[in-house]
Chains A and B, each alone.
Chain A
Amino acid sequence: MSTSSDAKVGGREFTSIFLIAVGMKLSDITTTILFESGQTAGWMIPLLSLAFMLVAYVVLISVLKRRAGQGLPEVVFAVGGNFGGALICFLLFASALLMTSVTSRGYVDIINVMVYQRSPLYALYLMLMGAALFVANRGFSAVARVSWLLIFLIEGAIALLIAIIWRDIDWLRLYPWAGPGVTRIVNTGIMHSAMFGEIILATALVPQVASFKAFRIGSIVGFIVSSLKISLLMAVYTAVFDYPEIIHIAYPFQQLTKNTSFGRVFTHAESIFIAFWLVISVIYFAFYIYLLAYLFSRALRMDQHRRLLLPMAGLVVFIGLIPGNTEQVRSYWEQLMSYSTLLYVALPFVIWMLDWIWRKRHANP
């Protein structure tokens, strides 16, 4: 019976985590940044990134499949030796840490700008991360179980949002469909593949999932469905707000919720969406804090990752408070994206090669 709080996570729960961890990007600064370079074709970028990242993912999975029950860090240490393993783990950790910091800062900015203009930024940040820390401290299974509990509500809420906004949609606004030109779109799509970096990072958690099959199905379903969802929502943003207005809207998702109304009586339902979105953000960052602590503990090859949760949450807040304003957050995000794309895309191939060499050496001693 898998009952203790550190018990393994089942397939459904893991799929839901993935749907949240990847799907949350439809509501944060990711979409805004993609619109800048993608213009009316912004909605295609997630699909292109998806295709690109899938290749890397398949390569990585082919290695992991051969090593049953091992997660990314274990595999990296096995094929890359102590030094190589620690180096790769630290690189991954650093990229995940910076990404989490910048993303979470983006979330706090959204909360600050959209709802709580008079509250100090750091207070909001501390509260959000405090809650995420509490959830992460209840274990990976807590994150997974809450995700599974909420996932249908989340997808339902998105469907409801689209249904409410349907009258304002004009699909013709998606033309010209190629936006700034096919080459540029493909280019941006590839360069922003790191926005799906979770799919590489999450392979660290293979040992926490009930079976490898559950992991594979969960990650692939979560990955594909989420990117389709992001793409759809980006198309809706464009169709509602039109280009070029869309690039001047800082937070299209929140803006969209502001336009919602249930009939003539309840004209402002955005706070409900925002509250719900907040609950999910807490789960989202709890997942990241857990992942960070896990990666760090594995990089140092220690078994206790629970005690690292507090320092990790603290680090995220400290780094997240560095950017002075939202514009800086965006430019950091862009830079980070291009560097980590390199890391996430190259890594599977590097690991595959190392594994290949390792197998050669062990096959013919």
Chain B
Amino acid sequence: MTTQRDQKTELSTLLAANLDRLKRDFAYPSNQALIIRNLIIASLKRDAAVLYLEGAADVEEVEKRIIAPLIDRSDIAFKSVNPVDAVRLEIVTHRSGKTWCTFEEINYSLLNGWTIVLLEGVDQALAFETRGFESRQVAEPIVEHVIRGPKEAFTESAAVNRSLVRKYLRDRHLVAETITIGDRSTSEVTVMYVKDLADPNIVDDIKRRIRAVRVDAVPSLPVLEQFLDEHPYSLVPNSLNTERPDRASAFLLEGHVILIMDNSPTALVMPITIWSMLHSAEDHYMRWAYSNFMRIIRLFALFVAVMTPSVYIAVATFHEEMIPTDLLLAIAATREKVPFPALLEVLLMEFAFELVREAAIRVPTVIGPTIGIVGALILGQAAVEANIISPILVVIVAMTGISSFTIPEPSLNFAVRITRFMLLFAGAFMGFFGIGLVIACLLAYLTTYTSFGVPFLSPLTPHYRSSADMILRLPVQKERVRPHNLNPQDAVRRPERIKQR
């Protein structure tokens, strides 16, 4: 940040003055991160300084490609008259090279790992991209793992992530636009989309929203996601995080937009529909029948996860006649000893289950298995024996819990778990009447909920043309058109088979 005294932003021709100014900007003597290497360019016979930030720049690259050529003593005549051009074009062997004129540009470049070369008698600075932030290797996905299919996941480095996406989608129309956000700590957001596929209105809308974010710092994508959210109070998520480059590129091919940021091992996909949240990366790697089987199981699990406790309460309280008589008697016999009403029982058990789940996430990995044992034994077995809950309830809550684990997307998982409680209270209050009313309202809400202008349940309702890749999917040969709810510019994935005479 510039102080009052440093209003002037242009560089001067004096090397010492420029260095002074940069030292002040980075609080030099106390801040040891700024590395200044003074040197004399032998072939130009000129004083110079090389600057970079420790930790941000790759020191080895700076040494090898910038400093070494600069101090090389071989005497040759240069074609360029301008010393800046001579250094940039004829001396330094680094791949990039830009000329800056202001301190803002220099500061910004230094923070992002660039190396600056200042020359005596020149009011310009040379900048070379030498980013060397520490990053881990490309690892296997942790959340979205698959049995079949690629096993690469995004890392915390945006450059690596962009290259991963490009590796899966080698299309010259794949655009990677960079938008800088954050007033204090700036960060770059890369907006990626396929230029001749994605609806320009959606792309513009997303870019406009990103530019409208005014805040001191946006550290990573999950925070940005919340800043871009159209409905911050809604239970339903508005965009989707994926850690799989193959999945991100599949979304790009349907006309979605993805955002990539440094420090975020995911890509943010937008706009989304409920189908993109219910589908798993694996669905298209398996053969038609297998993947549809998985999808049916998952859909069934979704219903179980949302409805089972409320249906149990409704049936047990209002509609006992539905349960087969033998089972009813068995349930009644076990419930006889339990002093609580069914609702309290369910709430107790659900609460216990949510506790176990939350604890399992927060607990250090070493003692992780203990949670399972304690949770299963104490909460399941002992609670039944202590007559706090009835055995049927353990079955129901366990079923519900396992079913909710099959929902691949964590945001949707939360939405489902919270919705379950809404239905639970409705069922306890008015039985199937209450559940019916709440479901009607939920459906009305979901059908009119939009993510960046795209209806959440489309292309099912409202109906749009698509390859019916929704609840089930077609064999790949039949998936001919892109979903039209995203208004893709190129609607067809695969031309119709040319009929042979």
Residues of A within 8 A of B (CB): 1-5, 7, 9-10, 12-13, 111, 115-116, 119, 124, 127-128, 130-131, 134-135, 138-139, 141-146, 148-150, 265-269, 271-272, 274-276, 278-279, 282-283, 286
- Return the chain A residue nearest B435 by Cβ: A275
> Ordered nearest first, which 5 A-B pairs have the shortest CB separation?
A278-B436, A145-B447, A282-B440, A275-B432, A131-B437
* From B324, B440, B454, B487, contact of A265 by CB (8 A): B324
Across the interface, which residues of A come within 8 angstroms of B199, CB to CB?
1
> Is B322 on the interface with A (CB-CB < 8 A)?
yes
Q: In the complex the two chains form, is B322's CB within 8 Å of A149's CB?
A: no
Q: In the complex the two chains form, is B436's CB within 8 Å of A275's CB?
A: yes
Q: In the complex the two chains form, is A111's CB within 8 Å of B461's CB?
A: no
- Return the chain A residue nearest B430 by Cβ: A127
Interface string of B150-191 (1 = CB under 8 A from A): 000000000000000000000000000000000000000000
Q: In the complex the two chains form, is A148's CB within 8 Å of B461's CB?
A: yes
Give Cα A10–Cα B484 distance, bound, in whole angstroms.
14
Across the interface, which residues of B come within 8 angstroms of A265, CB to CB?
324
Give Cα A116–Cα B433 distance, bound, in whole angstroms.
9
Do A138 and B444 form a contact, CB below 8 Å, given A4-B450, A274-B432, A278-B436? yes
Q: In the complex the two chains form, is A146's CB within 8 Å of B444's CB?
A: yes
- Return the chain B residue nearest A283 by Cβ: B440
> Is B439 on the interface with A (CB-CB < 8 A)?
yes
Q: List 12 A-B contacts (CB under 8 A).
A: A13-B462, A115-B433, A119-B430, A127-B430, A128-B437, A135-B440, A138-B444, A144-B462, A268-B319, A271-B322, A279-B436, A283-B444
Give Cα A138–Cα B448 distance, bound, in whole angstroms.
7
Give Cα A290–Cα B5 distance, bound, in whole angstroms.
65
Q: Give the total of B residues in contact with A, Cβ under 8 Å.
A: 36
A144 to chain B, nearest CB (A): 8
Interface string of B444-457 (1 = CB under 8 A from A): 11011010011101
* From A119, A134, A150, A272, contact of B441 by CB (8 A): A134
> Is B38 on the interface with A (CB-CB < 8 A)?
no
Task: Give the dominant DSSP class at B's interface.
Answer: helix
Q: In the complex the two chains form, is B462's CB within 8 Å of A282's CB?
A: no
Q: In the complex the two chains form, is A1's CB within 8 Å of B201's CB?
A: yes
Q: In the complex the two chains form, is B441's CB within 8 Å of A1's CB?
A: no
Q: In the complex the two chains form, is A269's CB within 8 Å of B322's CB?
A: yes
A130 to chain B, nearest CB (A): 8
Give Cα A62–Cα B381 distance, bound, in whole angstroms.
72
- Return the chain B residue nearest A147 by Cβ: B461
Give Cα A230–Cα B463 distance, bound, in whole angstroms.
27
Q: In the complex the two chains form, is B436's CB within 8 Å of A149's CB?
A: no
A31 to chain B, nearest CB (A): 21
Give Cα A142–Cα B445 distance, bound, in whole angstroms.
7
Most buried by B among A7, A111, A115, A271: A271
Do A145 and B448 form a contact, CB below 8 Å, given A10-B462, A283-B440? yes
Beyond contacts A1-B487, A149-B457, A275-B436: 13 other A-B pairs, Cβ-Cβ < 8 A, are: A7-B462, A116-B318, A128-B437, A131-B438, A134-B444, A142-B444, A142-B448, A145-B462, A146-B443, A271-B315, A271-B319, A271-B321, A279-B436
Across the interface, which residues of A come within 8 angstroms of B455, CB to CB?
3, 145
B255 to chain A, nearest CB (A): 12
Give Cα A298–Cα B11 distance, bound, in whole angstroms.
68
Across the interface, which residues of B come within 8 angstroms of A130, CB to CB?
437
Across the interface, which residues of B come within 8 angstroms of A145, CB to CB?
447-448, 455, 457, 461-462
Q: In the complex the two chains form, is B445's CB within 8 Å of A4's CB?
A: no
> Is B460 on the interface with A (CB-CB < 8 A)?
yes
Interface string of B107-139 (1 = CB under 8 A from A): 000000000000000000000000000000000
Give Cα A5–Cα B457 distance, bound, in whole angstroms.
13
- Return the chain A residue nearest B271 by Cβ: A3
Across the interface, which residues of B come within 8 angstroms of A12, CB to CB?
463
Most buried by A among B430, B443, B455, B487: B443
A38 to chain B, nearest CB (A): 31
Give Cα A143–Cα B315 distance, bound, in whole angstroms.
28
A268 to chain B, nearest CB (A): 4
Q: In the complex the two chains form, is A271's CB within 8 Å of B432's CB?
A: yes
- Return the chain B residue nearest A8 by Cβ: B462
Q: In the complex the two chains form, is B324's CB within 8 Å of A131's CB?
A: no
A90 to chain B, nearest CB (A): 29
Q: In the complex the two chains form, is A138's CB within 8 Å of B440's CB?
A: no
Across the interface, which residues of B come within 8 angstroms of A286, CB to CB?
440, 444
Do A111 and B433 form a contact, CB below 8 Å, given A266-B322, A267-B324, A268-B322? yes
